[in-house]
Amino acid sequence: DAGVTQSPTHLIKTRGQQVTLRCSPKSGHDTVSWYQQALGQGPQFIFQYYEEEERQRGNFPDRFSGHQFPNYSSELNVNALLLGDSALYLCASSREKRADTQYFGPGTRLTVL
C-alpha cells in the first residue's frame, strides 16, 4: 500500500518565477492538505482540498493556489516566488468519512534564490 507521494523531491527556482508541486494521496484517501515547513519550524497549514474544491485556507497569500483532480491527486502552485518561500512543502492525505488524522508525504524541498 503506497503512502503519500510527492514530486519533485527538490526544486531550485529564482525570485519571481512560478512553481508547481505535485502530490498523490495514500490509497483510499480523498482529502489532501498542504503545509509549509520553514527550516527549524513546525509545518503551517496552507489549504485543504476535498471534492476538487478548496475547503479551508490558512494565512497564506493568493500567490499560493492549488488544484485537486478527480483521482484525488493534487497540485500546489506558487506564483511570483519570494526568498521567504524557501521551505519544505508537505502534502498530507486523509479520509473524509473516517475523520482519520493526516498522513504526510516526504515533502518537496523548494529553494528560491
Partner 1 sequence: QQQVKQSPQSLIVQKGGISIINCAYENTAFDYFPWYQQFPGKGPALLIAIRPDVSEKKEGRFTISFNKSAKQFSLHIMDSQPGDSATYFCAARNSGSARQLTFGSGTQLTVLP
Which residue's CB is nearer to partner 1, number 24 or number 48? 48
User: Least distance in Å: CB of 60 to partner 1?
Assistant: 12
| 57 and 112 Cβ atoms separated by less than 8 Å | no
Q: Say how many residues touch partner 1, by CB under 8 A.
A: 26
Tell whether residue 60 is a contact of partner 1 (CB under 8 A): no
Backbone angles phi, psi at 86, to 5 degrees: -65, 120
Q: Residues in the site for partner 1, rule: CB under 8 A?
A: 4, 33, 35, 40-45, 48, 50, 55-56, 58, 90, 92, 94, 99, 101-107, 109
